[in-house]
Structure 1
Amino acid sequence: MGIHRGRNVGSVAACGRERSLPPLLLVAVVAGALAGCTGAPLSDDPVGTASPTASAVAEGPAASEPAADDLDRFDAVNRAVIAADASAGGTAFVAALAEAGFDRRAIEVTSDTTTLGEPADSIQFAVRVDDRCLVGQYGGASGGYRSMGAAVLGTGGCLVGATGAAER
């Protein structure tokens, strides 16, 4: 965990002691808390159903449409990535989202590997659209693909913790 203004980011105090939380657990806790606040349902549709073709994604709604349409477009792009490569990593999601018209500078993604260099159980990726975040998670630990709309964090970003540069 990184140091931020003299305290360990991603830690909690328990009985006067500070304990470090694993980064993915911290992201999951914050994402769960945000899901409860937004009222936006998680997308539970299996990846295999009605996966759009690349041309359907390219013909999707424009980036300036309302948040619900943005989440639909975000889901369509991400499901197309998964349909094309079930082992897709962060780079593939970032490239597809940028190609679909999402602002590359507003895209965040977690690492494909753990701090020990092992493949991550799941990755998270997000796009900030105006005052909302479109957050996706993909991998075995998350039961496939999940997504949700959420409020922007106080930091101005969408994901908690260290994220990789979307300029990959």
Structure 2
Amino acid sequence: MLLPDGSAEDNLPLFTAVAQTVWESPQNAEGRAYVDALVAAGFDKGAMQVTEDMSTIGNAAETLEFSVQWGEECLLGQVGPVTGALVTSVVPALAGGVCLLGDTRPIDW
């Protein structure tokens, strides 16, 4: 259950459980699946970032990263062939109020 008044660390178990469910599904390489599942669990879509599913040359991304900013911290998830498993953590937010560096996919659905 989402703990709106809790810390990022308090919400990491839910974030991890939701992401693990997607990782074990046929949609495990689709960023939208992680975003949609996290939204369904109560996380704020407006606080999320996700990387592209495809590389710049059109291949499936070797890793997919997704995040939810939680105050001054970020819940981060990473999956893909390079990691071989779901990896999650809580880290400080970056300058400018973002969690992921570089270009990320617009969450416009």
**TM-score, structure 2 length as denominator?**
0.91
Question: For the residues of structure 2 that align with 1:64 and 1:121, how far apart are their CA atoms?
Answer: 35
Q: Over aligned residue pairs, what C-alpha RMSD do you find?
A: 1.4
Residues 104 and 167, structure 1, Cα contact 8 Å, conserved in 2:
no
Deviation at 1:86, TM superposition (A): 6.0
What letter is aligned with 1:111?
A: E
- Name the amino acid aligned to 2:39: A
1:14-45 deviation per Cα after TM superposition (whole angstroms, max 9, x unaligned): xxxxxxxxxxxxxxxxxxxxxxxxxxxxxxxx
What pairs up with 1:40-119 in 2 under 5 angstroms? 60-85=1-26, 87-119=28-60
Aligned residue-pair number: 109
Bigger Cα Rg:
1
Over the matched positions of the two proteins, sequence identity in percent amounts to: 35
Moved over 6 A (4+): none
Structure 1 position 167 matched with structure 2 position 108: yes
Unmatched 5+ stretches in structure 1? 1-59
Matched residues in 1 for 2:3 and 2:66: separation?
20
1:158 equivalent in alignment to 2:81: no
When normalised by structure 1's length, the TM-score is 0.61
1:69 is paired with a residue whose SS is: helix
